[in-house]
Structure 1
Amino acid sequence: MVAGRDTTSSALTWFFWSLAQNPHVEKMILQELRSLAPRNPSFPTSAELRDMVYLHAALCESLRLFPPVPFEHKAPVRPDVLPSGHRVNRRIRLIFSLYAMGRMEEIWGRTAWSSSRRGGFRLREAAVRAVV
């Protein structure tokens, strides 16, 4: 079982590594912090943290590329049909790679994890594709 400290430390390690590899992102997060900090000497409040959209995007991007738990498994509670048309029953365990899904061009686009991409992040709703 993986929970709590292991996943948190993994997520933070990859987040700070990603910042070190992308100083332009670090700069934008610092600008965002500086723009919000003067409002309140006890910065940051939870409301101010919600206003930090670039920090949120950077964290989400880091979690997409480096999920702390790279594989997940599920089992249906009753017979069902996947979007691919495959039938599954309660005895079937579905295993999928969050790591691979975070890099699928069909979902995120060709340059979604390219180090040459600069500027904002592309956050899209996740999608699942059956691989059988």
Structure 2
Amino acid sequence: MLPLVLPKFLATDGFFIFLILQFISGIPTSLDEAATIDGCSVKTVFWNVILPLITPALITTAIFTFLWTWDDFLSQMVYFNKPANYTVQLALRLFLDSSSKSDWGATFAMSVLSLIPSLIVFGSLQKYFVQGIAGSGIKG
């Protein structure tokens, strides 16, 4: 599993870098300046001001990374060469018979069951996914 997970943790996807960069550039500089005037160091400004504001972008990145890695077929075919290491998507493909005599009921049941982890991840992170910078940065 390490070849699938490690590149994602090293932020190799340009889309996510662009997403987080655009989210950070949308943060008003007045928040940063106010924290600096109040005596915060650069590290404290990042941890206490910037990081809480970019939490929705980080959660979005986590959700998309999980879903894209979970549904990836090609990388799993390249990195895993033993059937014991195959993931759900590869097991589904191996379950199909080339002579068209597959058990379609079992195949569809496995397909539905393979959606459960994705639904759990999205359902548990949904409230952060829809939260915007306006709601999280400006307290009234």
TM-score class, shorter:
0.3 to 0.5
Report the structure, 1 or 2, having the larger helix content: 2
Report the structure, 1 or 2, having the larger strand content: 1
User: Greater relative contact order (Cα 8 A, min sep 6): structure 1 or 2?
Assistant: 2
Per the normalisation by structure 1, the TM-score is: 0.38
